[in-house]
Structure 1
Amino acid sequence: MSDDLPEPDRIEGAPHPRETETLFGQEQAEAAFLEAYNSGRLHSGWLITGPKGIGKATLAYKIAAFLLTEQPADGGLFGDAPPAPTSLSISADHPDMALIRAGSHPRLSIVRRPVDEKTGKLRTEITADPVRDLKKFFHMSAADGGRRVVIVDVADEMNVTAANSILKELEEPPARTTLLLLAHQPSRLLPTIRSRCRELRCKPLSPADVAHALAQADVHVDETEALATLSGGSVGEAIRLMNHDGLKMYHDLVHMFDKLPNVDRTAALKLAESCAGKGAEARFPMALDLIDLFLARAARTGLVGEPSTQGAMGEARLLARIAPNDFAARRWAELQQELSLKVRRGRAVNLDPAALILDMVFRIEETARSVAAD
């Protein structure tokens, strides 16, 4: 991959998963893999699932390092079998770890979005070529007889041809080979791929684990509750929020909606203008995501009551007021679906970002008035 292109599996401002020392919050998934390994039921295909940014890739690299540094089980000096491993952790000083961190281990292959030779940019999907290259990898890496590992990051991004090629490898996997498929939305994968893999489910992190993972990435923040709330337990999303001033943007959204069913028009115009023009490439999608999150939290509040944590000061009180019951919850959920569809259509035809943001704000105002009237 070209040095001037970001790796598609790297989050800006955080160490790459292969460089991450400690995985937080996924003890159950780690234990499930170890149990299968120690019982001799090691599947050739594993599907590692869960939302973005919660540690799926870090877990995949931990598993890969564990398998690539595997010690022979043919007994020690006196013929005794080594004790069953109780952890996936491998010493950072192990010689194989340096190769893994450098991305040059001869028995580890990473399948991800390639560079489009015509544009010089990353493709939007995993094409067949990286998967076809596995044939060469399997042949070359078989020389020393050690285990081989393939990580597909992420399998959701495979096009049809690539998915069918991976399916063939899962149907007839080479000996001593493990395929680790990461998926944000496993329902998008071929049912035949899912059926040939054992699933490891990663869960959103607790606020404490988010804080620990951020500290490991050398990211320090005071508003830990707000960050954990808005990120949904995703370290990747928490870092994105930090990188693009998402905490302040959500605070401004809550302030703008504080007087619903009336919206602060000046604040709405300021938000819309900030999402348009040069330099707003990251701010615009952030605004869309946070508005969607606000609506989702409003719908949930109508069903289960005032939230126990806040994404901004005063948010819990605001949500409880605009979503007092399950009827209001339905109205906010319907609006979320409506605006989500409008966003997809608007972005497909390159609708003016400012116009799209203002339209969303005014639809929220209309819905709040409707809820208040009922």
Structure 2
Amino acid sequence: MSDVELPEPDRIEGALHPRETPELFGQSRAEADFLTAFNTGRLHHGWMLTGPRGVGKATLAWRIARFLLATPLVDKHDMFGAPPPPETLDISPDHPVAHRVLALSEPGLFLLRRGPTDKGDKLAAEIRVNEVRKLGHFFSLSAADGGRRVVIVDSADELNIQAANAILKMLEEPPANTTILLISHQPARLLPTIRSRCRVLRLGPLSPDDMTIALAQADAHVAPADAPALTELSQGSVGEALRLINLGGLQLYSDILAVLGSLPNFDRARMLSLSDSCAGKGKEARLDLLLTLVDQLTARLARTGVTGHPPLHEAAPQEAGILARLSPDPQTGRHWATLAGQASDRARHARAVNVDPAALVTDLFLQLKT
């Protein structure tokens, strides 16, 4: 086995881990739905938390876990009666359960996520069945205290088929007083039988106001004026907004917009500068972000033409005017949609076969020029 210390697979670089995040913003409806089920005695054993990546699904799962583990089971025969129903999922950070959850030492909690490969030198690409089998040991050890037990699966999308079938069996025959929380970014890809055995909590994109507060909590230093653009480009995802911040995404989008905005003449010098900025060792993340942002820009061009007006919020200065000029009518909008799809497929194929990044980016822009 390797002595390499592996990163946590469910932690976004530059952000607090979801278990360390004190508050959840913009998802009050999902919290209220769970609390209603709890207070009315309809606490299902399996819950699927769905929505775009980075909008707070894992943070909500950890909030629910702390809440359940810190809230005693009610004895129906207690002569003093049941306590008043809780009004929030909030648990004081000074609560012993909160301390144990933060330290990953809470005996009533099991976190199922990707583990190391057989060599132990890196993380496995998926959650394997041997990780799920550890649940049996967890249930046997935690059964003695008779309290609640919570399992967080982050994320269910990463379960391989054997692991998914093992989770399905637990959902079909859940241990007593156990709640299983499955985080899923793409629930349609999961086994239909898993989906059918879970209640769903849907989380949506954050508003610019919620994004501002959430980024402040993540200790991301963002100018208030940048919050609307970050919300637009991240599509309301805090996780994606942090990636944009870490990689200079707002400036990168502005540079991409300037290149396309120079059409029909095309600013070749600026295009080559962008291409060179994605070349070289350690620039892979920037290249991936550029491809994502080009996809977003061309999608915004297509929508501008088809709908007859640019998006309500600009993602960069002067964007609305550029979009309106380049995509003035539905026919042009449909042309952008077709052209963008072909160029994106070509670029991602080139990325997969390790074409030189500078050549890849140059070719992408030349494809969009046609």
TM-score (norm 2): 0.95
Give the conservation status (yes or no) of the 8 Å contact 1:111–1:151. yes
Give the conservation status (yes or no) of the 8 Å contact 1:154–1:183. yes
Specify whether residues 183 and 270 from structure 1 end up closer, same or farther in structure 2 by C-alpha distance, changes over 3 A only: same
Specify whether residues 78 and 193 from structure 1 end up closer, same or farther in structure 2 by C-alpha distance, changes over 3 A only: closer
Amino acid at match of 2:222: V
Give the conservation status (yes or no) of the 8 Å contact 2:157–2:190. yes
Q: Which residue of 1 aligns with 2:350?
A: 346
Q: Which residue of 2 aligns with 1:313?
A: 317
Q: Which residue of 1 aligns with 2:251?
A: 248
Q: Which residue of 1 aligns with 2:289?
A: 286
Amino acid at match of 1:63: I
Report how far residue 165 of structure 1 moved: 1.1
Amino acid at match of 1:52: R
Amino acid at match of 1:176: N
Specify whether residues 169 and 262 from structure 1 end up closer, same or farther in structure 2 by C-alpha distance, changes over 3 A only: farther
Q: Which residue of 2 aligns with 1:132?
A: 133
2:281 pairs with 1:273: no
Name whichever of 333-342 and 136-145 sits farther off: 333-342
Aligned counterparts of 1:206 and 1:44: Cα–Cα separation in 2: 31
Where 1:251 maps in the other structure, the secondary structure is: helix
Report how far residue 282 of structure 1 moved: 1.7
Where 2:180 maps in the other structure, the secondary structure is: strand
Matches within 5 A, 1:222-261: 222=223, 223-261=226-264
Specify whether residues 184 and 340 from structure 1 end up closer, same or farther in structure 2 by C-alpha distance, changes over 3 A only: farther
Q: Deviations over 1:6-65 (max 9, x none)?
A: 211111111110011110000010011111111111111111001111100000000111
Q: Which residue of 2 aligns with 1:220?
A: 221
Matches within 5 A, 1:196-215: 196-215=197-216
Amino acid at match of 1:169: M
Name whichever of 303-312 and 54-63 sits farther off: 303-312
Q: Which residue of 1 aligns with 2:54?
A: 53
Q: Deviations over 1:230-275 (max 9, x none)?
A: 1111111111111111111111111111122332111111111111
Aligned counterparts of 1:313 and 1:253: Cα–Cα separation in 2: 12
Amino acid at match of 1:46: W
2:185 pairs with 1:184: yes
| Match among 324, 331, 334 for residue 328 of structure 2 | 324
| Match among 358, 366, 369 for residue 362 of structure 1 | 366
Aligned counterparts of 2:199 and 2:340: Cα–Cα separation in 1: 34
Aligned counterparts of 1:361 and 1:47: Cα–Cα separation in 2: 40
Q: Which residue of 2 aligns with 1:159?
A: 160
Give the conservation status (yes or no) of the 8 Å contact 2:344–2:364. no
Aligned counterparts of 2:302 and 2:282: Cα–Cα separation in 1: 32
Q: Which residue of 2 aligns with 1:296?
A: 299
Consecutive unaligned residues of structure 2, counting only runs of 5 or more, are: none
Specify whether residues 276 and 25 from structure 1 end up closer, same or farther in structure 2 by C-alpha distance, changes over 3 A only: same
Q: Deviations over 1:63-113 (max 9, x none)?
A: 111111112323799613211111111111110100111112111111111
Where 1:308 maps in the other structure, the secondary structure is: coil
Give the conservation status (yes or no) of the 8 Å contact 2:73–2:147. no
Amino acid at match of 1:290: L
Report how far residue 357 of structure 1 moved: 1.2
Aligned counterparts of 1:29 and 1:51: Cα–Cα separation in 2: 14
Amino acid at match of 2:47: W
Aligned counterparts of 1:104 and 1:318: Cα–Cα separation in 2: 54
Identical aligned residues as a percent: 55
Q: Which residue of 2 aligns with 1:370?
A: none
Aligned counterparts of 1:2 and 1:227: Cα–Cα separation in 2: 39
CA RMSD across the alignment? 1.8
Where 1:73 maps in the other structure, the secondary structure is: coil
Report how far residue 155 of structure 1 moved: 0.9
TM-score (norm 1): 0.94
Give the conservation status (yes or no) of the 8 Å contact 1:298–1:319. yes
Aligned counterparts of 1:228 and 1:94: Cα–Cα separation in 2: 34
Number of residues of Structure 1 aligned to a counterpart in Structure 2: 366
